[in-house]
Amino acid sequence: MTFFLDQHGCAKNQVDGELMIAHLAKLGYTQVFDALKADLIIVNSCGFIESAKTESLNAVLSARKQYPHAKILLAGCLAERYAEDLGENLPEADGIFGNGDLAELYRVVEPLMQGKRVVLKPAQKGVCGGERNLLLSFAGAAYVKITEGCNNRCAFCAIPIIRGELRSRPASEIISEIKTLISQGVYEINLIGQDLAAYGTGREDNVFGTGRTLLPAGTPGSVGLSADSTSAESSESGLATLLKQISALEGTFRLRLLYIHPDHFNADILPVIKADSRFLPYFDIPFQSGDDGIIRAMHRTGNAKAYRAVIEKIRAVFPEAAIRTTFLAGFPGESEEAAAHSMDFLCAITPDWSGCFPYSKEDDTPAAKLKNQVPKKVKEARASALVEKQAEITRERLAKRCGKEYDVLVEEVLAESSENPDDGLAIGRAWFQAPEVDGSVVIRYDRSDKAACEAVRTGRLVRVHVDSSGDVDLNGNYTGDSPLNASIAKSSLVFAEDIAHAE
């Protein structure tokens, strides 16, 4: 039996997709990269905002129409969030599978392939992990999930509804997975979770075998360092302890942290990152708003001043730190003045990257019940204004990268130029560019140079001298093979991008 995975959503959902691939392989299924050849099509859906939900539903409808021979399984966040409703009202899907315990996948697939319709929503317990024999990312990089669910309960967010309360993976399990990935030739490790700052603080967490970890001070019901505190009044955060254990690993790799909630940013991770050159000074902190009233209405405890202090603290330690954030435009009750405060905040912190989304009214969230909902056109206009300002900031910050040389992880080697076959082009990422969401480095090299052709391959590092920048990307010339390649393990993992291109 064959299966095709139609992957949607965030990096956390991507890891779930990779785990499902491994579970299906154990059941004897073979993955194909052409849906026409599949007996089973899995739509691993997103259910976070309205546009993502629509995209996932359309994927099911399209698959049913285009591939009538195949069984269609709707999995992922949308399936988890609306399992009962979709089980009754989406006949185009032959089965519905939530994302609580992915090891339960066999309980849906086996009867589904026998013509039975199954709707299964396993309990949200623990953090799904295990062997991944194929990664959906570009060669050389992998995501490692360290938490699941969330306890922050932001008023606009459906994640606690979809994935439940916060749970953290044991540190030993995380360390083991990272160690294995490094031994398999993965160079870039990206730690993910809804809020890495909360690692080890779940109600039932005991990640180090010493009991529950406490959140930083300033977080309701906890003790520790606040975002703008310089005193050592408490124990070390769980995230800092985990990073120290990762730092003890041998090998050549780079580590990036993604998604840290600003209300309890772990200030104690800064010296840990500073002490290990393999840890990237890249900080993804979703502020969402720069207006104190809206921040409170979002059920957050910080304010614009404290959030600016977080960025100032980071840049005091890492002047060239890469900062990414997110804004939510048009939250209920957002006035023109409040929107202007977010614009002022963006201009004050000058992040390298930011995403901005119009507020989406999500079922069962506190914000959905608020009055003073902002009209759609107003939300979209405010989001566009923030996007335009960020584009200006990004251009300025990228221009400062010009004239420097970086190790770039090659993600894709493009076909030769139609004008000159000797002009080679490749796409890669430097340390300040996270996968999927940030810009790229366009690498120029001479295809008549045998050494260059040998070096510029997916999953390898090359030295690139950046000579120009654009709106989101940098351009540069290949100057040589990175010396780091000599100490990176030979890749033994399979990457979906490589298979898809080969086919």
pLDDT in tens, 372-404: 999 999 999 999 999 999 999 999 999 999 999
pLDDT at 183: 94
Q: What is the mean pLDDT of residues 353-360?
A: 94
pLDDT at 212: 82
pLDDT at 216: 55
Q: What is the mean pLDDT of residues 35-42?
A: 95
Smallest CA-to-CA distance from 158 within 96, 258, 80 is with: 80
Q: What is the mean pLDDT of residues 340-359?
A: 96
Q: What is the mean pLDDT of residues 488-502?
A: 76
Residue 30 has pLDDT above 90, yes or no: yes
CA 273-276-278 angle, 5° bins: 95
Q: For the chain, what percent of residues have pLDDT higher than 70?
A: 94
pLDDT at 133: 87
pLDDT at 501: 58
Q: What is the mean pLDDT of residues 118-123?
A: 92
pLDDT tens across 478-494, in order? 999 999 999 998 888 78
Given pLDDT bands bounded at 50, 70 and 90, which one contains residue 107?
Answer: very high
pLDDT tens across 272-306, in order? 999 999 999 999 999 999 999 999 999 999 999 99
Q: What is the mean pLDDT of residues 125-140?
A: 90
What is the rounded distance in angstroms from the CA atom of residue 317 to the CA atom of residue 471? 27
Q: What is the mean pLDDT of residues 26-32?
A: 94
pLDDT at 232: 37
Given pLDDT bands bounded at 50, 70 and 90, which one contains residue 416?
Answer: low
Residue 220 has pLDDT above 50, yes or no: no
Amino acid at 407: D
* HSE-up (13 A, CA, CB side) for residue 338: 22
Give the torsion through C-alpha atoms of 422, 425, 431, 435, to 10 deg: -150
pLDDT at 222: 38
pLDDT at 47: 83
Q: Which of 54-58, 169-173, 216-220 has the lowest mean pLDDT?
A: 216-220
pLDDT, averaged across the chain: 91
Q: What is the mean pLDDT of residues 437-443?
A: 94
Given pLDDT bands bounded at 50, 70 and 90, which one contains residue 420?
Answer: confident
pLDDT tens across 224-273, in order? 333 433 333 457 899 999 999 999 999 999 999 999 999 989 999 999 99
Q: What's the pTM value of the predicted model, to 2 decimals?
A: 0.92
Using an 8 Å Cβ cutoff, are 379 and 385 in contact? no
> What contacts 132, CB < 8 A, 6 or more positions away?
15, 18, 19, 21, 22, 142
Amino acid at 420: N
What is the rounded distance in angstroms from the CA atom of residue 142 to the CA atom of residue 491? 12
> Which 3 state secondary structure label does DSSP give 3?
strand
| CA-based torsion, 418, 419, 422, 425: positive or negative | negative
What is the rounded distance in angstroms from the CA atom of residue 336 to the CA atom of residue 316? 33
